[in-house]
Structure 1
């Protein structure tokens, strides 16, 4: 994926690595935009490549921002909110499935194991956020394996461990699931605006300003509604069975 920062004289790969490293070090969007504008101005005037003039992009970013910033305190809140949405989605789907089949909602050993794995996974993601992000950006297959392996594991656990631990009536379970989804959405919508766009300095004619793609804008808008939308889509086949 190409990152458009209106820096035509800077190599795309150098720009991406430089921007990512500054982001990981907690540098704000305006400082990143100014740094990119300076690199662009030098390369345009001198004719040099960014790598020849400034060296390795990660090393140059480290010189500009020597110490990586600590993880933002809102990260744990965001992860907890996501877990809340996931729990609401799973409970709602379980209730719809039970209603469709005329049975009670059954919490199995597999369901509880998957819930524990989700919590463990979110803790690991929080603790290893920086190296994981670096790996995903540098190696596309890490994202594929990281996204597919947990799903395969969850399905295997759910299918294998099917012993019922506790049963619950459909209506209370459905209400509880929908309530969790509502709380997740409300918290997400009313949470702080963490957007920090990369913006170049005034008078630079847009140099250093990262253009936001249609996909990125769409994901930002659907973000708070992601779990309710997924729940609705996944509930359709359950209702049709």
Structure 2
């Protein structure tokens, strides 16, 4: 007899091991189903609810999962009630990432020239083009997140090819477009970079505190509709937290310190 249909037992164990919600279902089918629903933007609690219903149906009918539900991707699209609920993806998190990325770049560049260079950062055409390419990539990730993820998952080689072309364009811009357009004080550039890092980290921290990063695949949603989704998500968030979330929040400040520290060590060795 299969177990784990009553909600309480299905919530136990590692929350990342979503197969625990449907232990009697073919693992490959579960993985394809979950991946497709993730790409469709279905919230984690509703995915868990669907897995438990599949497990329950198979227990009662004795059918195989492919006999009862067919292709996992097709069923995932059919079973998706709606896309991610409004406000579930906190825009402050995305903004925090963008500010952190720019802040890291400015801080590392400015600090190096401030401590070990002329005190002036040379601004080239290539540097400006690189900044534009970074902003364009960030805009694509924000505005077309689901499409980017689907391309990465379903057409991995094409995705890697696009990334390779993008990286080549960035490197070529820096190396070829080396004409100077002006200079900026390294101290001011460093100060702006640190300010953006702080602002970005605060935005990410506020998102993490309110549970905006948690979308675990858990058991059946206790209530129907958006309120039930939020209730399940907030309850999971209060339990899961985790060091990984906070490492993510402070990732850009940590990387900035490492970059500046490495530059300091290399200059001392030289």
If the TM-score is normalised by the length of the shorter chain, which range does it land in? 0.7 to 0.9
User: Where does residue 236 of structure 1 map in the other structure?
Assistant: 261
Name the TM-score, length of structure 2 as normaliser: 0.72
Matched with 2:80 is 65
Is the 8 Å Cα contact of residues 24 and 68 (structure 1) preserved in structure 2? no
1:61-100 equivalent positions in 2, closer than 5 A = 61-65=76-80, 67-69=82-84, 72=87, 74=89, 76-100=91-115
Change (3 A) 1:3 1:163: farther
Paired residues of 2:107 and 2:194 also in contact (CA < 8 A): yes
Greater RCO, 1 or 2 (C-alpha within 8 Å, sep 6+) = 1
Alpha-carbon RMSD across the aligned residues, in angstroms, is 3.1
Q: Secondary structure at the match of 1:5?
A: helix
Structure 1: tracts of 5 or more residues without a match: 203-215
**Structure 2: gaps (5+ residues):** 1-15, 222-240
SS of 2:183's equivalent? Answer: strand
Matches of 2:255 and 2:159, distance apart in 1: 20
Aligned to 2:153: 137
Deviation at 1:39, TM superposition (A): 1.6
Task: Provide closer, same or farther for how the CA distance between residues 70 and 200 of structure 1 changes in structure 2, counting only shifts above 3 A.
Answer: closer
- Whether 2:132 is the aligned partner of 1:116: answer yes
Q: Cα deviation per residue 1:20-79 (whole Å; 9 max; x = unaligned)?
A: 332344433222212101222334555543223201112212222255457758465433
CA distance in 2, matches of 1:141, 1:160: 28
How many aligned residue pairs are there?
229
Q: What's the CA shift string for 1:117-154, capped at 9, x where partnerless?
A: 11212222233322221222234445644555433432
Counterpart Cα distance in 2 of 1:193 and 1:27:
17
Shift of 1:116: 0.9
User: Which of residues 201, 217, 221 is equivalent to 1:185?
Assistant: 201
TM-score by length of 1: 0.79
CA spacing shift, 1:154–1:236, aligned 2, 3 Å: farther
Tell me: CA distance 1:75–1:186, structure 2 relative to 1, closer, same or farther (3 Å): closer
- Distance in 1 of aligned mates of 2:157 and 2:18: 23
Q: Would the aligned equivalents of 1:108 and 1:163 in 2 still touch at CA under 8 Å?
A: yes
Q: 1:149, 1:217 → 2: CA distance?
A: 36
